[in-house]
Structure 1
């Protein structure tokens, strides 16, 4: 027989070394990523065989160097201790622009050049210059379209959700979901008012906000958040905290939402009764809450369900989709989440999938639990949404005892 005690120390050492190497690598990402975001497009557009006149090459290189230096400086001034909105807008816009340039420099730099070579168009210089203009044209179109998509009032996405344990009296319950409004450096007070008007037009029984209300303190973003006080629901308006609340004095946002008449579901629940049947509507703080150090802030599902009849169906609000593992273990019927933004700027969704079990839409987890992940109502940081449209969601809850509406 093999003596397992002889092999365990080596295994433990290997496992300890692996996280250590990973952590060391992660420390370099903030340094390497900005360089790649600006250096790769600079090379593809200016130095891969175009042979531009010297003044063009120098001017283009200067712009890329300015972006490389200016982006992190602006983001530090905008999102650091100074919290200067103009700097945040500048840094965020440069970040989104560099991501788009990087993505399409890589994709088109390969595909267009290969296609032109195959069909025999021009010489090396001609092909390189065609690549440059194609990439620049694509980037301008996508950034303009992405800006319009980010700033518009989201379209309503409506879907029926059948819950096996939902009583017939609750069939047709209308749940409006907004999330990730991210009121921030760009003033969106008018946008916020129009979003609330759309929500009111849905005539929902329950209106939910699943966190990331804003970037910045409640005092600074009060004017943008104020229209939330006009939201109407026949039964309740409820919310939970997101991770961004804990970057911006979370207790101030709790106090402001109380002032605006929204009911907090911070590790607690309420009962929604209709037609002789009852739905438990519960909520938890974001999973990052405990690390914030704020007293009483943590994600505590057992506390949220304390005193609830275990035979009743449960609708749970949790900011991040990855909380669904705990929800499924507890037999939750439906979890509503946001956080992912659907990736916001393609192809960032591939990175989101590393951290979260779902990107957008309805998914099934465990034996009973459904998860609906919203792409978000607003945007974070870069004022662009590319192939990841925002949404206001209307979920109509359906009982198995009633036919699903067509």
Structure 2
């Protein structure tokens, strides 16, 4: 193929990719809205015509409104009211979709034991709707509450006796966003300060939106207390907006922005290197100097001192192992946030939550996150403020 032919073929390939992407989105939306519509309003339930009509209008209206709300809320205009509505609708339809699917499995069981329609389909429809409503109410309360403190002890073979018992508090994925959670943020900070931390870390995804939009919600972070250090690294959501702006904001609030660099914590003659790297997506952001650079982060560090690494995504663990890191702290997964989404997260990440070992030396702690992204619900994936107590080997 000549250069000219290749250039001529490129637009066709882009058009094909755009078409396939569009068809994929349409298919996903069709399933998300179509399965619960079919299960709750049709599918042998023989509801009165008025019920079928009202249910159909509700689902069609929601389906047509959803892409508009998401475009207005998360596109160039960043309208918070639209984001709130679109995100909530996404959460509601996800839960309805999941329980409609499970309801159809239950329908097979009911059929096997002799329950006939319309009783069978009506029972499934009412059951799916009732369970979904209950989970959404509970999930909203879970998302909005101050996270519980999750206490974890981690033994590091190379940690010196002087640092035995070092208290490290981990915040991550606060996602200050279209729902104003300034008071929630202040309560989270109060909970952190009650833990008497030596080091407080934030492993990214501070906010969705610009610094100016989220000034009030991020302001309480300036009141976080730590005996030795407050350290922050970027997450992938910073690179959807103002990565440099959030690095500057955290510096303004008195935090150490570990933009591929490290600091040293010392007590009782023992030392701990606290390093941080940019999120793995930074290299594709187009921002000069932004990429996950473990070598730069550890340049000049004492090779005999243990390393605590902040890296937003668990899948950055491979580079951590290669650079001899002792413990990596990450977030990003939200623990799945809304069951059973954690199964999909697991396809992309080596862990979804908790402590795991990788290689002979390196351990990884993955937080379920302090806040939430998008849908204001947490279902079977509670948020957390993590208190890690480091123990000498």
Q: Structure 1 length normalisation: TM-score?
A: 0.91
Shift of 1:24: 8.1
* Counterpart in the other structure of 1:120: 114
Shift of 1:72: 1.1
Distance 1:93 1:27 in 2: 23
Report 1:159-170 matches (<5 A). Answer: 159-170=152-163
Q: Is 1:40 aligned to residue 35 of structure 2? A: yes
Report 1:373-392 matches (<5 A). Answer: 373-392=366-385
Q: Is 1:107 aligned to residue 93 of structure 2? A: no
User: Cα RMSD over matched residues?
Assistant: 1.4
More displaced, 22-31 or 71-80? 22-31
Distance 2:125 2:341 in 1: 23
Distance 1:332 1:104 in 2: 42
**Candidates 295, 299, 304, aligned match of 1:306:** 299
> After TM superposition, where is structure 1 displaced by more than 2 Å over at least 4 residues in a row?
21-31, 114-121
| Structure 1 residues without counterparts, runs of 5 or longer | 1-20, 401-406
| Structure 2 residues without counterparts, runs of 5 or longer | 1-15
* Counterpart in the other structure of 1:67: 62
**Candidates 332, 337, 347, aligned match of 2:330:** 337
More displaced, 22-31 or 125-134? 22-31
Distance 2:343 2:153 in 1: 28
Distance 1:24 1:166 in 2: 54
* Counterpart in the other structure of 2:74: 79
* Counterpart in the other structure of 1:279: 272
Report 1:248-397 matches (<5 A). Answer: 248-397=241-390
* Counterpart in the other structure of 1:192: 185
Shift of 1:120: 3.0
**Candidates 72, 83, 86, aligned match of 1:91:** 86
**Distance change in 2, residues 1:24/1:336 (3 Å):** farther
* Counterpart in the other structure of 2:9: none
**Secondary structure in 2 matching 1:217:** coil
Q: Deviations over 1:327-367 (max 9, x none)?
A: 01111100000000000000110110111000000001112
Shift of 1:26: 5.6
**Candidates 134, 145, 149, aligned match of 1:141:** 134
* Counterpart in the other structure of 1:228: 221
Distance 2:347 2:89 in 1: 25
Q: Is 1:398 aligned to residue 388 of structure 2? A: no
Shift of 1:114: 2.8
* Counterpart in the other structure of 1:57: 52
